[in-house]
Amino acid sequence: MLASVRRAQTLAQSPTDEKLVAELASLAVLPQSQGKGIGKALTRAFLQAAHDKGAQQVYLTTDALNNDAVNAFYQRLGFQLARQFWHTPQRLMNEYVYDLANQQVELKG
């Protein structure tokens, strides 16, 4: 949690001439509700809200290993893998970016 607070502080202190970015920090759907489009609707609503506030990109991080369904979910929604990094020596992370300037957020479907 401390790392998330530090990251938020760093983003808040970024120069204003850089791209405005938003971070999708956490998304969860109850196991019994998965597969019903709730996660897709929440993500699309977040993308639309970020776009409406002037963000040019949305990024997120998620586990790279043993997390195939989640990684495929974000890729299907149009997120592009930007990089991988080690959060800890045992935890490889994927960082995804959604370019709001070049992709139109589709709220339905």
0.95 surpassed by pTM:
no
Q: Which of 53, 67, 34 is nearest to 105 (CA)?
A: 53
Average pLDDT over residues 82-91: 94
pLDDT at 1: 43
Local structure of 64: helix, strand or coil: coil
Give Cβ neighbours of residue 52 (< 8 Å, ≥ 6 apart): none
C-beta of residue 57 within 8 angstroms of C-beta of residue 47:
no
- Whether residue 16 is contained in a domain is answered as no
- Whether residue 65 is contained in a domain is answered as yes
Q: Is 1 exposed, middle or buried (0-12, 13-18, 19+ CB in 10 A)?
A: exposed
- Whether residue 7 is contained in a domain is answered as no
Domain that holds residue 68: 21-99
Q: What is the CATH number of the domain that holds 65?
A: 3.40.630.30
- Whether residue 104 is contained in a domain is answered as no
